[in-house]
Amino acid sequence: MSINNFSKVVVVAKDEWRYWLRSKLAMTVLAIGLLLTLSSVVVTAITMHELSHDRHELQSNAVQSFVDQPDRHPHRMVHYGHYAFRTPSPLSTLDPGIDAYTGNSIFLEGHRQNSAMFADQRQGTALTKLGSLTPAFIVQTLAPLLLILIGYSSISRERESQTLSYLLAQGTSGITLIAGKGLALLSVVGLIIAPLAVSALFTVSSGESLLAVASFVVGYALYLTVWVLLILLASSVFSKNSGSFTALAFVWILLCIVMPRVASTTASTAVPSAGKIETDFAVKAELRKLGDGHNTNDPAFKQFKQSLLEKYNVNSIDELPVNFRGLVASESEAKQAKVLNQFAQQRMQAELKQTQVSRYFGWVSPMVAIRSLSMIVVGTSIETHHRFLRETEQLRFDFVQGLNKIHIEELDYKDDMNRNADAAATKKARVSAENWQILQDFNFNVDSADVRAQRSVPAFLQLLLWIVVLVGGIKFVGKRLI
């Protein structure tokens, strides 16, 4: 573009702004958009900061509560359990992602893999499930509507007022006119994204990477650019403002409301997964085959018992230098964990496949593309949640087996078998509370910025394809603008 043409583009953009400044509707819409974005950024940032502080404190309290337990039987502590909390990622102040649905803490205990708890949406009312006013929700869903209200008449207004032919006759090409209107709308996009960008930059002081922040801001800029191009195309194609607005309103409903639901429904249909009740019954059926780890006489441990007798070269379990009940508990936990992990892996693979299917809809809906991109870059996607589940399961297994090791080495087998004889026997079948210092520090962090950026590449490509196609359409229409 030559300097002369660029100056004409700037003149058109300035003229558009003058029109908006005279228009109460445009200024009201712009003010509402900025107010919503700013307020949501502030409120969400405060909320996530409080959540982060609370979860750190709860994690510390959970550890302290565990180590403060008195002398007990080791297996009592296996069932007393422990909590693991997931602290929010720095950028989750802007997009909580699936964390609001999946939960943020897990109760860890022997023989079971519990689900994450305390999901915000599960605790909310039906109205809150329609969509919280987070910065991500506002920019993804409401900002396009605000842009439509401001810019739907950009070109069609000139045609209706019969100034379009005059502008074209004065030497302003259709492409230049559209570019000028587009520049004005892009400046509005800049105003909407500014609070988001500033908030994202503040997360760097909390340990977030500049690469993640840049990816986040650029992704939303591309998304809103798609809507600017859609608005310009519709306003150029339709001869009346009413036609342009109706078409854009329909497109907004289709792309922002309908398509995300279609994507999730299609994903659940294309990749069916077993329900919780069905899975629980299947898990219990498999666990029964492994035997009862609380019963040393269970036939399932007959071969294990014989191998121990041969290993230590003794004739009975009473002669073993270690506690047989503790060994059975440890062996049983290892086998149960293997089965539980198999079912958990199957569930996570199904969830990941469903997510991938829904992400394909980003090629037909920019809303799906930006939603995927945002959660991935922020670190609140399904991949991050699955890693949280795997790390907490490893924490659970290690602490349970640590207690089983204490059971094996610190508690005499005969005292263990006679623990229910009387009060004195019960007291004798306990170990010192000093043994509870076995918990590992748990600090969950999101994936590195490089990993998140790599995962977000398909979503970036989807948005770029939208832009390329729309620019091509605008060029085609612009050359024939009358």
Q: What is the DSSP string of 418-455?
A: TTTSSHHHHHHT-B-GGGGTTPPP----PPPHHHHHHH
**What is the tens place of the pLDDT at every residue in 217-260?**
999 999 999 999 999 999 999 888 899 999 999 999 999 999 99
**What is the tens place of the pLDDT at every residue in 321-360?**
888 888 888 998 999 999 999 998 999 999 999 999 999 9
Quick one: DSSP state of residue 124? S
Give the pLDDT band (50/70/90) at residue 297: confident
**What is the tens place of the pLDDT at every residue in 6-16?**
888 888 899 88
Asked if the model's pLDDT at residue 111 lies above 60, the reply is yes
Torsion of CA 148, 150, 152, 153, to 10 degrees: 180
**What is the tens place of the pLDDT at every residue in 25-74?**
778 888 888 888 888 788 777 777 777 777 788 888 888 888 888 998 89
Coil, strand or helix at 82: strand
Contact 330, 408 (CB under 8 A): yes
Asked if the model's pLDDT at residue 126 lies above 60, the reply is no
**What is the tens place of the pLDDT at every residue in 257-296?**
999 999 999 998 998 887 778 888 888 888 888 888 787 7
pTM of the model: 0.87
What is the C-alpha separation between 161 and 413, in angstroms, rounded? 95
Indicate the residue type of 88. Answer: P
Asked if the model's pLDDT at residue 128 lies above 70, the reply is no
Please tell me the predicted confidence (pLDDT) of residue 378.
92
Helices of type H across 134-258 = 135-137, 143-151, 156-160, 164-169, 174-202, 210-237, 241-252
Helices of type H across 379-417 = 382-410, 413-417
**What is the tens place of the pLDDT at every residue in 73-85?**
898 898 888 888 8
Q: What is the CA radius of gyration of the chain?
A: 31
Mean pLDDT value across the chain: 86
What is the C-alpha separation between 281 and 68, in angstroms, rounded? 36
Residue 44 CA: distances (Å) to CA of 94, 130, 479: 7, 17, 45
Please tell me the predicted confidence (pLDDT) of residue 282.
85
Which residues, 6 or more positions from 162, have their beta carbon under 8 angstroms from its beta carbon? none
Structure token pair of residue 171: 């030497």
